[in-house]
Amino acid sequence: MTTKKKISFTGALFRILGFSLLGGMAVGALSAVLMLEGGVTDRTSILATAGALMGAVMIVVAGVYSIRWWQSVDEAVRHAHAWAWYWGGSAGLAISTLFFIVFTVTDGVVARALMQKLGYEGGAVEFGMILTAGPMLLGYGIAWGIWWLRHR
Amino acid sequence: MKNRLKVLRAELNLSQADLAQKLDVSRQTVNAIETEKYDPSLPLAFKIADVFALKIEDIFQP
């Protein structure tokens, strides 16, 4: 039950955003230098590399602050999140699985129709990721609220 | 699990926030334990017993 120095959820979130912003600025500056001074003219590959670097920075920073935040909260808060992730996340994943079954059985026809209906113009892979993570996060949020309502 | 936390806290004239601070947990956690909606871990139960200078079994009953 040992807890470390308190770090609030919003505090961790702002730190993640702040470090990501700094990382983005550094990556952007590096890209500009490579294009202006380094003779690199392929703008697309520079932007793709910058995007990947930025993503890596965000993942590392988010990981570090997630661990720090987790270590700083008490056992009931941890239990609420673990319970919410298990039940809410699993329920969300079950819904995502239904989407995937329907999309597979219909050979992507329903998926494309849904993308069109929602006005989504990105790639199918990204759409799939949203349909996986979205219900899981939604289920997680709902289950977290239920846990605290039941334990008030 | 039943407990006497609310009574013991009142005897020491502590608010839920005061007790939470002593235990290094959130006030919501203290409330959840008091209302018997959440059973504390063994380390937290020992910490609670320590605050009231009692044995765990004097505070918690199955």
Name the average pLDDT for chain A. Answer: 85
The mean per-residue pLDDT over the stretch B3-22 comes to 94
Q: Does the distance separating the beta carbons of A1 and B28 come in below 8 Å?
A: no
Q: Quick check: A23 pLDDT over 90?
A: no
Give me the CATH number covering residue B12.
Answer: 1.10.260.40
Q: Does the distance separating the beta carbons of A76 and B25 come in below 8 Å?
A: yes
> Six-digit token pair at B19?
């007790």
pLDDT digit string, tens, across residues A54-113: 888 888 888 888 888 888 888 999 999 999 999 999 999 999 999 999 999 999 899 999
Structural domains in chain B (count): 1
Amino acid letter for position A18 = G
Residues of chain B numbered 9-48 and touching chain A (CB < 8 Å):
24-26, 28-29, 31-33, 35, 37-38, 40-41, 43-44, 47
Q: Quick check: A36 pLDDT over 80?
A: no
Q: How distant is the Cα of B3 from the closest Cα of chain A, in angstroms?
A: 15
As beta bridge partners, residue B61 has: B2
> Six-digit token pair at A79?
């239990």
Q: Look up the domain containing B16 and give its range.
A: 2-54
Residues of chain A numbered 4-63 and touching chain B (CB < 8 Å):
none
Q: Does B41 map to a domain?
A: yes
A vs B: CB pairs below 8 A: 38
**Terminal Cα distance for chain B, rounded:** 5
Per the CB < 8 A criterion, the answer to whether A16 and A61 are in contact is yes
What are the extents of the domains in chain A? 1-73, 74-152
Per the CB < 8 A criterion, the answer to whether A137 and A129 are in contact is no
Q: Does B30 map to a domain?
A: yes
Q: How confident is the model at residue A30 (pLDDT cuts 50, 70, 90)?
A: confident
SS3 of A133, please? Answer: helix
Q: What percent of chain A has pLDDT over 70?
A: 94
Q: Quick check: A7 pLDDT over 80?
A: no
The mean per-residue pLDDT over the stretch A19-25 comes to 79
Of A75, A148, A150, the CB nearest to B44: A75
Q: What is the pLDDT of residue A4?
A: 58
Residue A17 or residue B22, greater confidence: B22
* Residue whose pair of structure tokens reads 């018997």 in the numeric block: B36
Q: Does B10 map to a domain?
A: yes
Q: Does B59 map to a domain?
A: no
Q: How confident is the model at residue A5 (pLDDT cuts 50, 70, 90)?
A: low
